[in-house]
Chain A
């Protein structure tokens, strides 16, 4: 965990409104675990003031500028332009200064990636699932269910396919892949693979539906959540979610930034999960 003053290496629109940014990130290929995130600062100004959390899509190396230099370590984040912060981000170019705090948070429990795995990503929620897919010992036993509103919201399918995992695309308007919700695909896949473990990230209504499906079938589930957060390190207590057994008398609030963003579904209180999903002031991971 460190704050890096670093630079943008590239920033490309990969689908209308979706950008993939590569950032110079020393040590990240060693440190970053699947499901972790960074607190990203666009510029040293008051707009936007706070950093924004972004899930790490992948970490890697690229060749150095000359033979005598070591290879450059980078991370990639993928973001959807939804507010003032991401609007500034889409205008960044190679060499522009940015700051990265991270890698932060608790990622996926990788002990549960042997055997059949089903990864469920809704829209931009697909992002943290890529490193998870990379780390699955036998990719042929993993399936990735990719859902979105329309074809523009379906991103990085090819990247997943290259890992050797099987992909299933669905859109709500039927413009790409199966028509309908990704949760319907999940139900049908679980018919085929009832013992699979499920890993999900996406909008809260999707997460809740996935949880219901998994609970009724007694399938192990890990979810990656997004909440509005100010600090990312467990100090502001802005991003809490209710833990299992939460009550007014015995409160259990878990920080999404430190205990999460990935939780075992069993550790959360699903009765009354509050979501900031519709809040425009938050930037999606």
Chain B
């Protein structure tokens, strides 16, 4: 759907993060969009700012037992456990499909150890079809999902440094909100050479079935996402924007353009849409449409003029 009328001035939704040009600031959050192909029947992947893959590791990963998901008020808990096909299978089976689209592919990845992070980054660095890397140091659902790196600024610095040595591709580091002071972590990864920061990953949470008195997730604890987390995410993005000089990608409970705009106004250059994809497979296309409408209604000619315009 293109609502643009002939008499309208051209509208620019294009943004740039870490040297990657996105045709608009809307992209999926890792883990909510599979490897892209799952959603291709519902939405034109060419319309997106970028495609962000499910988190990949050196070797395939099984993930956690079920139940892995559970709805809570205004959100959901998940403990998938980073199930993924592994980097090699991704390269041969999933990447060729994504390369046919005129949309930058950002590969989300993680490692069990600092060396493994470096190893995956080196492998991804060789691939022309990969526009950028998103380094996950924040998965709350597995012991070695990176959260140990994400919650310890020293470990975060070392891991990002190890990855930085192995790649010249744009490097986005995805942070966990489950820390006392997000600004400390943000500064550490920026100093270690990150080109951009994305946040938030899920907030750790838990739900109990009162009849069986068992946790609703097999993993007991999971990550909370969805509209319920948005105010927390906006606050954290606001804090990180003030702490670092690299671009920030905002994530957390975005399901409408209005939600995305909150993040842009506090200073995020782009945003990722997560749980909303599950609710409506066409959610991102709708958000892009709404964003255009907002800009036209508000007389905004360039979305970049909205970014970081919070007046306090």
Contact = CB atoms under 8 A, between A and B. Distances in A.
B209 interface: yes
A236 B278 contact: yes
Contacts, number: 123
Interface string B72-91: 01111010100100000000
Contacts of B65: 274
A237 B282 CA distance: 19
B68 A234 contact: no
B129 interface: no
Of the four ranges (under 10, 10 to 19, 20 to 34, 35 or more), the interface on chain B belongs to 35 or more
Interface in A242-266: 248, 251, 253
B277 A231 contact: yes
B74 A101 contact: no
A280 B211 contact: yes
Contacts of B67: 227-228, 238, 274, 276, 279, 282
A163 interface: no
A203 B100 CA distance: 43
Interface residues of A, number: 36
A235 B34 contact: yes
Nearest to A274: B66
A238 B69 CA distance: 6
Given A47-B73, A228-B70, A230-B78, A235 B60 contact: no
Contacts of A101: 42, 281
A241 B66 contact: yes
Contacts of B33: 235
B76 A230 contact: yes
Contacts of B279: 41, 49-51
Interface string A82-101: 00000000000000000101
Contacts of A280: 209, 211
B207 interface: yes
Residue of A101, A228, A236, A282 with highest tally of chain B CB at under 10 A: A236
Nearest to A52: B71
Interface of A: 1-3, 41, 46-51, 99, 101, 227-231, 233-241, 248, 251, 253, 274, 276, 278-282
